Amino acid sequence: AQTVTQSQPEMSVQEAETVTLSCTYDTSESNYYLFWYKQPPSRQMILVIRQEAYKQQNATENRFSVNFQKAAKSFSLKISDSQLGDTAMYFCAFMRPIGNTGKLIFGQGTTLQVKP
Amino acid sequence: EAGVTQSPTHLIKTRGQQVTLRCSPISGHTSVYWYQQALGLGLQFLLWYDEGEERNRGNFPPRFSGRQFPNYSSELNVNALELEDSALYLCASSLWLRNYEQYFGPGTRLTVT
């Protein structure tokens, strides 16, 4: 069974600085999707970034980028120029397309606080 | 474009009661997913509906059930509520065959006393 682990329950960063959130996963699949979701205190889950395992290039979305290390089964999220609005819980998630289960498997989450 | 909507925002029920939660997907989306976010248990996949059919089910007892209507909206029903059913219930939607792009609603907070 696939598992996703986020080893940092809480993190904090000063506004305008850079922070990296860690995620590791376990799977025997060669093709899959990885995601980072953001859940602000308002609780609406927002997709931040998606990575397809067959793509070598790391995904980026504005200030958000990932470091995808397939062999190490690691998928970290880097937030550059942190803003107060980045304060949220961040979830790493995995999906296997084979079998089309529709199921996202989430890590336990990392609470990020951006301090002014 | 309107996002995924859920109702009610929150509700309180007593153990043993039944509850129905509702979800309207983004226009054009045919797939609806339900997740439970319970304290200490993280986010867990509950159900996936598409074209009115249940496509997949998570590891939850049969008292968790649902359905999808012809307009693609969905209901999640929980019978015989237990204290541990207290959680945030999130609904997500996607286009058919694009379930790697799930868009979430704001959730329904259920408290069972």
pLDDT digits (tens, 9 = 90+) for B44-71: 999 999 999 999 999 999 999 999 999 9
Distance to chain A for B16, nearest Cα, Å: 27
H or E element at residue B17: none
Nearest in space to B57 (alpha carbons), one of A103, A100, A98: A103
The Cβ of residue A80 has, within 10 Å, a number of other Cβ atoms equal to 14
The Cβ of residue A53 has, within 10 Å, a number of other Cβ atoms equal to 18
Instruction: Please indicate whether, in this complex, the C-beta atoms of A44 and B102 are within 8 angstroms of each other.
Output: no
CA distance B99 to A97: 9
Residues 6+ apart with CB under 8 A from A78: A18, A19, A20, A21, A64, A65, A66, A67
Tell me whether strands B87-94 and B103-104 are parallel, antiparallel or unpaired.
Answer: antiparallel
B102 vs A contacts (CB less than 8 Å): 47, 104
Chain B, nearest residue to A52 by Cα: B100
In this prediction, residue B38 carries a pLDDT of 93
A9 upstream amide cis, omega within 30 of 0: no
B100 vs A contacts (CB less than 8 Å): 33, 35, 50, 95, 97
Contact predicate A31/A53, CB 8 Å: yes
Distance to chain B for A100, nearest Cα, Å: 8
A48-101 pLDDT, tens digit per residue, is 999 999 988 899 999 999 999 999 999 999 999 999 999 999 999 999 876 778
In this prediction, residue A43 carries a pLDDT of 77
In chain A, pLDDT over 90 holds for what percent of residues? 81
What is the rounded average pLDDT for all residues in chain A?
93
Out of A100, A104, A105, name the one closest to residue B102 (CB): A104
Chain A, nearest residue to B104 by Cα: A45
